[in-house]
Amino acid sequence: MTKSTGPSVSSELRARREGQGLHPDDAFLRPGRIPHIWCPGCGLGIALTAFVKALQKAKMDLDKTCVVSGIGCTGRIAGYLYLDSYHTTHGRAIPFATGLHLVNPELKVIVFSGDGDIFAIGGNHFIHAARRNMDLLVICVNNFNYGMTGGQSGPTTPVGAFTTTAPYGNYEQPFNLAYLAQACGATYVARWTTFHVYRTRDSMAEAMLKRGFRFIEIISTCPVGFGRPNKIGSGLEQMRYFKERSVVKHGIDAREAHLTMGGEIIVGKFVDDERPTFLDMYREQVEQKVAQSGGEEA
């Protein structure tokens, strides 16, 4: 677990940017943590850059913004960001983030982790946080495998894809993450790829300013764990793959956005609703009970 101390985050960022002649984005990264440890061609650097750009575009108060991650390649992002950030145990990023939000509702709490972490061991936490409409933004980088531990099949691996645990091709039906989020009650659901840098940035910035349970899926290149066994090629070749196969379909029912090997990659903003959050509902119930009891809290 990492957490900044001393002066406020925003004042430290300004001091670093103005005093050391850094690129404006570098001030959002922890000193001494770069270069990163991700594989060549990995899309996580793109996802991290888009996130930093989104923080700036949304004009987020960095002293009230925190990032929580679990275990995995994407989980490293929390440790690179120069914000209050927490690297938690496998699959537990969402309950940890829920605790942060409930203790201090003024915080903007963002979960940034991978498909294996959030939707395998962490799947139960995801569906109930969405059902409750917790005021969280969950960003999931989906590379279709367990990249950090050897390229095993995971909950999003497409049927027919080759992995280290599916040498004859995966035969388990994968989750459609966007549809799962929609079905569980998320108020905002979008999917992009690491090819769609500016759309990803804009979607993140938009979601940061909304309330409720928001979900963004980022389809990411993984040249080693997924691209190599499936003969998709290098990181650059995978980007071409995303460009050629991606189709933008805003507003569709996310059940129509199922992903298959070699098929269309349906991207876009699928859900953008408003409904009471968990704390809204809680406060409404408390006020009703207090009113019914003549003004005395139970």
CB contact at 8 A, 16 and 22: yes
- The structure tokens 């995966």 sit at 170
Please state the domain count of the chain.
1
Residue 106 lies in a domain: yes
C-alpha 79, offset from chain centre: 15
- CATH code at 73? 3.40.50.970
Is the separation of the CB atoms in 194 and 218 below 8 Å?
A: yes
Q: Is residue 2 part of a domain?
A: no
Are the C-beta atoms of 41 and 188 separated by less than 8 Å? no
First to last CA, the chain: 37
DSSP string, 271-287: EE-----HHHHHHHHHH
Q: Sorting pLDDT into bands at 50, 70 and 90, what band is 275?
A: very high
Q: Is residue 4 part of a domain?
A: no
Per-residue model confidence as pLDDT tens digits over 98-147: 999 999 999 999 999 999 999 999 999 999 999 999 999 999 999 999 99
CA distance 136 to 25: 24
What pLDDT, on a 0 to 100 scale, did the predictor assign at position 184? Answer: 97
pLDDT over 60 at 287, yes or no: yes
Flag whether pLDDT at 240 surpasses 70.
Answer: yes
* Token pair belonging to 12: 């430290």
pLDDT tier at 288 (50, 70, 90 boundaries)?
confident
pLDDT digits (tens, 9 = 90+) for 2-41: 454 445 766 766 666 565 656 778 889 988 888 888 999 9
pLDDT in tens, 165-197: 999 999 999 999 999 999 999 999 999 999 999
What was the pLDDT predicted at 18?
A: 62
> Which amino acid type is present at position 251?
G
Bond preceding residue 35 cis, omega within 30 of 0: yes
Q: Residue 282 contacts by C-beta under 8 Å, 6 or more apart in sequence?
A: none
200-227 residue pLDDT tens:
999 999 999 999 999 999 999 999 999 9
pLDDT at 17: 59
Q: Give the Cα separation of 216 and 112 in Å (integer).
A: 10
Predicted local confidence at residue 113, as pLDDT: 97
Is 282 inside a domain boundary? Answer: yes
- CB of 39 closer than 8 Å to CB of 187: no
Question: Is the Cβ–Cβ distance between 41 and 189 less than 8 Å?
Answer: no
Q: What tokens were used for 226?
A: 């997924």
Please report whether residue 131 resides in a domain: yes
Query: CB 95: neighbour CB atoms within 10 A?
Result: 18
**What strands lie across the sheet with 188-193, from one edge to the other?**
84-87, 65-69, 108-114, 137-142, 214-219, 188-193, 265-272, 246-248
* pLDDT computed for residue 16 by the predictor: 62
The pLDDT assigned to 4 comes to: 45
Structure tokens at 11: 């004042």
Residue 220's φ and ψ, nearest 5 degrees, are: -125, 150
CA–CA dist 293, 298 (Å, integer): 8
Go through the chain and tell me how many residues it has. Answer: 298
- In this structure, the strands spanning 188-193 and 265-272 are antiparallel
Span 265-277, average pLDDT? 97
Report pTM: 0.91
In angstroms, what CA-CA distances link 222 with 6, 39, 285? 37, 8, 47
Candidates 124, 125, 127, 114; CA nearest to 78 is 114
- Residue 298 forms part of a structural domain: no
Q: What pLDDT is recorded for position 23?
A: 75
Q: Identify whether 237 is part of a domain.
A: yes
Cβ-based neighbour number of residue 142 at 10 Å: 27
- The Cα 255–Cα 154 span in angstroms is 20
Residue-range definition of the domain harbouring residue 251: 9-292
What pLDDT is recorded for position 294?
75
Is the separation of the CB atoms in 186 and 214 below 8 Å? Answer: yes
**Residue that wins the pLDDT comparison between 288 and 22:** 288
